[in-house]
Amino acid sequence: MSSILARAALVCHPDTPSDALAALGMQIELTDDHGWEIGFVAMGRIADLRLPEAAPGIHTDELWRTTCFELFVAEDDDAYAEYNFSPSGAFAAYHFDHYRTGMRPFDIPAPHILQAADAERLSLSIRLAEDALVWDRSGAIGASAVIEEANGTLSYWALAHPPGRPDFHHRDCFALRLPPVDRA
């Protein structure tokens, strides 16, 4: 039996409006084996989006250059992890020592990524094993998405945005605090 840890709406950055999407939301559930089931749902004219073609479920850099869903997990002090999930099935995981510095990939078991789409809804479901998570069970979380439209326009969605240009690495975007988990 899984339990919902969080559910939230993402907001589009005001400088990058989307003509295709009306709303985007996310949810994190704790699974029976202490992993996470992460869901993203985008609502709008899905045919107007550029979705990457199916790809192997392997670590792939620069997924954020097109439609991609992301999760940021705060660690101790300034350190954090970034996870990128593509509708193609590819993924990436990185560790940062501080804001945008000390970036290095880290190995995680390949997440199980499922995409479903119809005319008005794009869903991405990601299952991360417990040993893929750097979560300290009380840290701040950021959820975000880069959405590319068929005409090449990019919009940037997050739980919150700092002033200025879109910047998912900024701590203002780590706007979700998950409750501590009782493992008893």
Q: Kindly report, residue by residue over 63-92, the tens digit of the pLDDT.
A: 999 999 999 999 877 899 999 999 999 999
Q: What pLDDT, in 10s, does the model give residues 144-166?
A: 999 999 999 999 999 999 999 99
In Å, how far are 79, 128, 151, 161, 176 from 50, measured between CA atoms? 32, 25, 8, 23, 28
pLDDT mean over 107-127? 96
Asked if 4 and 37 touch (Cβ cutoff 8 Å), the reply is no
Asked if 155 and 16 touch (Cβ cutoff 8 Å), the reply is yes
Which domains does the chain possess?
3-177 (2.60.40.1190)
